[in-house]
Structure 1
């Protein structure tokens, strides 16, 4: 167990031992931050890319974090404001705050802030549980192939310099072989400022890394509050480049598994473009099923 006093710690961390437990002195006052992005030069040459841009990487099972902030401090807005012909402008601004790898499983995050802009939370593998957390970003800011349950979390969309769509909450890349990806239960999908335009954010788009046809991203929202930044469209197609460099488009149908059940709030718009579950179907998407035999507990139960 590692107790972390209030302060701002500029660190790039890899947790590669099991049963590590971080406890912050306060959620907003204990901040682990770093400012790498996809274009940051890598020590071995080349660039870090999205996978290497993390602030905190979990590469071992049974990690727990509570009562702290994990942040990628890359200044997306300042970079976006630079002229396109400015050689200092970063072309790949993906900047991961938290990443889980294939070596991770059963990570728990309680009463944490996870903050970034594009690609904030990369749940790439394993089963993970988030309770009472506040997760901020704009483009694909909860993404990856892992299985994750988010309960009573605030999922906060940030502005993107007036672009429309302003952003995408999720970009799951769940393998077809897995029935579950991301599950949001009793979460609040909010906008960071009132200036975020109504209907400008999509709930998700189906990421297919490298154009992998064996992927069918899954994100399900159960009894979540949705503010008015979410609109009629609900979801969006996505394009990726395959190994030959060819651009491939993946549509919401049939290339994803996006569903809602009993969404409420001004952004909970009934539409054929936003598939819903009935009560029996919704019962299948439970935390117990998604986590497949693992019953996590939060040392700190946020309210």
Structure 2
């Protein structure tokens, strides 16, 4: 009996240590540890991004700065939930490219080029691409287009700066959590920004296109999945450029019954379809689709659906302010600690 009690105490003590270590990981101690990735392996650097991530001990408690040299890295990268506190930095979204072509008709996790499941992740100057549905690769036609994701983002306090996301269907899966995108480029054709995240996209370019030699077919930009009236999730686009090529796209359709998308102070090109939005057979009174202070031919919304919402000045401010995703100042702290 005494041995059993001691064993239980040891198990409890070990469990408390794990909890303590995990809670500390969310604080992300500094200064950052630096790891280099270079396809040549020069200077003892890692040759793949995944091997650099795998070298970080779990659970991670220290900011780890992974510097990625220019190159096209053909690999599928996963940041496990026990490896938070990572800053991925490339040399530019035109020169440091993570590229994959995985696809699947079910089990989306297997169809993603970059998967981030941890809290406290930053990426800067990197492109994330899924080439599977891209017509220029000549292995699909329009009837075969299926989910093939460039990135899945799950976790809190996730930020992307000067990054690009390229795909066709389901390019960027904002799964759950607080996310911030600044000066990013997001490209796709069908539901290419989707999920149940709470996200701000600031000064981003959102481009509807199926790629080189694209077929003629309309598309949808967002599919936000807010699932209840109590949920705070939603997509906020501010100071963005929404553009496209050839055909027209809806600004969004309701993936969830309480879907929420706000577009403000942005430029909307003539890529926007006349009706603007679709309820996707959801009850329109529960949807929150808002357009305010936008310019461009697509901002003419007299023919847009009549069930768009109008917010009060205070309501609008609560979404447009950075506190919508950052009540605790985590964005400034991440930038300060990682010195960018």
Any residues of structure 2 matched to 1:190-229 within 5 Å, and which?
190-191=243-244, 193=245, 196-197=246-247, 200-208=248-256, 215-229=257-271
Alignment counterpart, residue 293 of structure 1, candidates 306, 323, 327: 327
Task: List alignment gaps of at least 5 residues for structure 2.
Answer: 1-64
Residue 79 (structure 1) shift: 4.7
- Structure-1 separation of matches of 2:231 and 2:321: 15
Q: Is the 8 A contact 2:272 2:298 kept in 1?
A: yes
Greater mean deviation of Cα atoms: 51-60 or 278-287: 278-287
Q: Is the 8 A contact 1:15 1:57 kept in 2?
A: yes
Report what 1:243 is aligned to.
none
Alignment counterpart, residue 295 of structure 2, candidates 252, 264, 267: 264
Residue 72 (structure 1) shift: 1.0
Q: Is the 8 A contact 1:110 1:299 kept in 2?
A: no
Cα deviations across residues 183-228 of structure 1 (Å, max 9, x unaligned)? 111011011x3xx13xx210000113xxxxxx41111111110000
Report what 1:15 is aligned to.
79
Q: Secondary structure at the match of 2:324?
A: helix
Any residues of structure 2 matched to 1:123-162 within 5 Å, and which?
123-159=174-210, 161-162=215-216
Count of matched residue positions in the alignment of Structure 1 and Structure 2: 259
Alignment counterpart, residue 317 of structure 2, candidates 269, 272, 283: 283
- Structure-2 separation of matches of 1:31 and 1:19: 21
- Structure-1 separation of matches of 2:299 and 2:139: 33
Q: Secondary structure at the match of 1:74?
A: coil
Report what 2:109 is aligned to.
51
Structure number with the higher helix fraction is 2
Residue 257 (structure 1) shift: 1.3
Cα deviations across residues 74-104 of structure 1 (Å, max 9, x unaligned)? 134335427x6xxxxx4x6111111023xx2
Q: Secondary structure at the match of 1:118?
A: coil
The reply to whether residue 174 of structure 1 matches residue 234 of structure 2 is: no
- Structure-1 separation of matches of 2:91 and 2:207: 23
Change (3 A) 1:292 1:68: closer
- Structure-1 separation of matches of 2:324 and 2:221: 20
Alignment counterpart, residue 28 of structure 1, candidates 62, 76, 94: 94
- Structure-2 separation of matches of 1:15 and 1:64: 12
Q: Secondary structure at the match of 1:285?
A: helix
Report what 2:165 is aligned to.
114
Q: Secondary structure at the match of 1:97?
A: strand
Cα deviations across residues 250-292 of structure 1 (Å, max 9, x unaligned)? 25x1342111111111110122516244544322212434215
TM-score normalised by L of structure 2 = 0.71
Report what 1:70 is aligned to.
128
- Structure-2 separation of matches of 1:278 and 1:264: 20
- Structure-1 separation of matches of 2:171 and 2:276: 20
- Structure-2 separation of matches of 1:149 and 1:25: 24
Report what 1:38 is aligned to.
104
RMSD across aligned positions (CA)? 2.1
Q: Secondary structure at the match of 1:124?
A: strand
- Structure-2 separation of matches of 1:136 and 1:72: 11
Task: List alignment gaps of at least 5 residues for structure 1.
Answer: 40-47, 85-89, 209-214, 239-248
- Structure-1 separation of matches of 2:68 and 2:126: 8
Report what 1:242 is aligned to.
none
Of structures 1 and 2, the larger Rg is shown by 2
